[in-house]
Amino acid sequence: MTKLDLDPQVVRKARRLAERAAAPIIEMARTHTTVSVERAQLRLGGLSGADSDGLPWVNHLVDAVRDQVGLEHGVALPVWDALRNEPYDDLAGLARAAALGAVTFRIPKGSDADAAAELARRSAREGIGRVDRRRAERDTMLREVGDPAQPWIYLIVATGDIYEDIPQAQAAAREGADVVAVIRSTGQSLLDFVPEGATREGYAGTYATQENFRLMRSALDDVSKELGRYVRLTNYASGLCMPEIATLAGLERLDMMLNDCMYGIIFRDINPRRTFIDQRFSRQIHARAGIVINTGEDNYLTTADAVDAAHTVVVSQLLNERFGKEAGLTDRQLGLGHAFEINPAIPDSFRLELAHAQLVRELFPDAPLKYMPPTKHMTGNVFAGYLLDAFFNLAGIMTGQSIILIGMMTEGIHTPWLSDRDLALENVRYVREACGALAEDFVPRPDGFVVQRARQVLSESVDLMERICDDTLLTAIADGTFGVTRRPADGGKGLDGVIERADAYLNPVIDILDSEDPHAAAGGVPTPAGSARE
């Protein structure tokens, strides 16, 4: 039901502009590859593990191919050609030999190229099949243990030690958390490799590794069966290894992944071209794995003013929607982000928050929106902080948000303790249960403050999108349009890992993801792309 009476023609115009703005970026992603995309292909081929210094074998193998023949054709042809002609039984043996300089790679031609391509396609199909089976496992568990009603309560654990995270996550689930996010160790997004194995030392978070994913998913499966409701697991597919982490998430049945179109660019100074190319592949994997992405628009409001920059949040959400759908994500997988970050000292701050939250809810009615709590204006006054979090929870219920990340009263002081998390869960439980279906009764006065503010933000969003279409998205990012941070297209980390594809480029994983509908395929009946996409 519409409550803001938004002009449907304005809404359609906003989406058309988003499609125009995104088109050059999508074309760039379709005609380029990156070192991480190529490494992700090898991970789906079954290559894992690392050398004695912790550098993964996928890095060794991709680096060796790049040094000898370049990556313009991808790694598939030279790697599987070498497997056919060298005395190695598998990718692991080949990678170890390549690290020692004992393998000579080439770009095969003719029948040799056909044979290598067939082996690579077979390996890619097996890897995608493993992702499909993990998705089917989730569907089975949801039927068996039940799916909690929305809004889902989302809580973060971040000790740095996976074996400490596990009991905290299980305790949080028992106290009402529906989604557990294991925040990554500070700076992992800047590593151009994925650490290996279970980790016990991280700073302000725990390293994202395949083994850590496996351990936490298993622990949450146990507590899901105990509680009779499925507890979702979230991590972060961002940074220089975005495609690989997305792949590992699909292989280990994570349910949500932080995956924003511009977060890494703006807040981690990762090259824009690298980010957008990596992002398309990662979102294709997420679509196939049935993973819900969470976007990071809330972060813009930690550096920009939440009132003045409200329209930049909407523009980013529209772009994230376009990029996501082009990669195969459905509305139900678009956990678009926004936040309760207006200065509480501003008159009518709560009404402004309601206007912004309701606008996003109506623009994306079928998306599982993720609503973030106040952080920028949290202080050492824990009583005021607890009250502000209650207002945030109330806004989330009144505007029908899907995922509510709990706010904690001590966020302005230190990394919250378990006792703080318990109080935060109590806060959101009370508001959710006391309000019930209050969203049904919240109907802003026609042409009143809330309605007028929402329309103003939408109008400003359309104006900004028109400027982006004229100047290009890369220029807008370079000019500091989002988050008041300037990031030039040829600056930042990771640009040296971007490669333009040759005409004969081969990546059988991308071929599968481009040609099949991810949601029909996950049910065991692959169909041509576009036949059932939203």
Q: Per residue in 409-431, pLDDT tens?
A: 887 676 667 788 889 999 999 99
What's the pTM value of the predicted model, to 2 decimals?
0.94
The pLDDT value recorded for residue 532 is 30
- Given a cut of 90, whether residue 134 has pLDDT beyond it is yes
pLDDT of 8 higher than 60? yes
Q: How far apart are CA 505 and CA 498, in angstroms?
A: 14
Mean pLDDT score across all residues of the chain? 94
Question: Is 422 marked active-site?
Answer: no
CA distances (Å), origin 126, targets 42, 58, 119, 443: 12, 18, 11, 51
The domains of the chain are located at: 32-125, 148-456
Mean pLDDT score, 258-280: 94
Q: What whole-number distance in Å separates Cα of residue 62 and Cα of residue 83?
A: 14
User: Helix H segments across 70-109?
Assistant: 76-85, 91-99
Percent of the chain past pLDDT 90, that is, above it, reads 88
Q: What is the pLDDT of residues 476-533, one digit of tens each?
A: 999 999 988 899 999 999 999 999 999 999 999 999 999 999 887 555 433 334 333 2
Dump pLDDT digits (tens) for 417-471: 778 888 999 999 999 999 999 999 999 999 999 999 999 999 999 999 999 999 9
Of 88, 154, 207, 263, which is the active-site residue? 263
Q: With 0-12 CB in 10 A as exposed, 13-18 as middle and 19+ as buried, what is 14? A: buried
What is the CATH T-level fold of the domain 148-456, as seen in this structure?
TIM Barrel (3.20.20)
What residues contact 124, with CB distance under 8 A and at least 6 apart? 41, 44, 45, 76, 508, 509, 511, 512
Question: Which residues are CB-neighbours of 98 under 8 A, at least 6 positions away?
Answer: 60, 61, 64, 65, 105
CB neighbours of residue 391 within 10 Å: 18
Known catalytic residue at 263:
yes
Q: Is the pLDDT of residue 472 over 90?
A: yes
pLDDT of residue 527: 38
Selecting among 370, 371, 376, 386, the annotated active-site residue is 370
Catalytic site residue 325? Answer: no
- Catalytic member of 165, 298, 420, 517: 298
